[in-house]
Structure 1
Amino acid sequence: MSKKVIATEKAPGAIGPYSQAMRIGNMIFTSGQIPLNPATGEMVTEIAAATKQSLENVKAILEVEGATMDNVIKTTVFLSDMNNFVAMNEVYATYFPQNPPARSAVEVARLPKDAVVEIEVIAAL
């Protein structure tokens, strides 16, 4: 199987030597998406709005390959402060109202550009 780079201008461009996502076979692996608005370059800092922006970035990447949030089978959520877990979870739940994917959520010391959240996913087509 060959790897395919996935890229879209509807999500923030990579800020280092990595791709927004990779597809191999029927699997899509996204890089972590911070809450950077791709249209304005603005970093969203309030946790609920930041979670929404990160998930919208993920959604835009998946759409390049014809996938939706329903195709997501695993997520990893990185939080700069675990005290934001409840607010993040409330927004997160709206993106996965039925049969939510497996998930890990962890607090980290720091995220790129001092983001409050970063979310990566694995999806199956």
Structure 2
Amino acid sequence: MSRQNILSGSPWEDKMGYCRAVRIGNIVEVAGTVAIVDGDKVKADDAYAQTHNIIERIAKVLEDAGASLSDVVRTRIFTTKIAHFDEIARAHGAFFGDIKPTTGIYEISALVSPDYLVEIEFTAVLA
């Protein structure tokens, strides 16, 4: 089976030695992804906007891998504040309400920047 690495252009990819996603056969694994916090549309205190931004961006990554959000079978959501559950769930449900991948949500002590409230990993399987 061939391996396809999907790069996003992030400077961290070379620094850390990773890529945004890897496709091998019909499986696509997407690295933990945080929002692009711009202070306007996506704010550091808005878990809904961060979650929405992450999923929108990953839809493009999946497309680059020959997949789509409808191929997602699992998401893993990490948050620095579980009290944001309702906001995160609402954004996740807006994309996955009909798809219904398995998921987990985990409170963690910190992400790489205090501006990030949410990080999500994705697994997709193409039929």
Give TM-score, length-normalised by structure 2: 0.85
What residue is the counterpart of 2:120 in the other structure?
119
The structure-2 alpha-carbon separation of the partners of 1:104 and 1:82, relative to structure 1 and needing over 3 Å to count, comes to: same
Distance in 1 of aligned mates of 2:64 and 2:8: 7
1:8 CA drift (Å): 3.6
In structure 1, stretches of 5+ residues that fail to align are: none
Flag as ranges the 4+ runs of structure 1 deviating above 3 A. Answer: none
- The count of aligned residue pairs is 120
What residue is the counterpart of 1:85 in the other structure?
85
1:15-73 Cα shifts (integer Å, max 9, x gaps):
23211011111000000110126xx6x87421111111111121111010221110000
Distance in 1 of aligned mates of 2:11 and 2:78: 17
SS of 2:18's partner is: coil
1:14 CA drift (Å): 5.4
In structure 2, stretches of 5+ residues that fail to align are: none
What residue is the counterpart of 2:100 in the other structure?
100
The amino acid that maps onto 1:117 is V
Cα root mean square deviation, aligned: 2.0
Distance in 2 of aligned mates of 1:7 and 1:67: 15
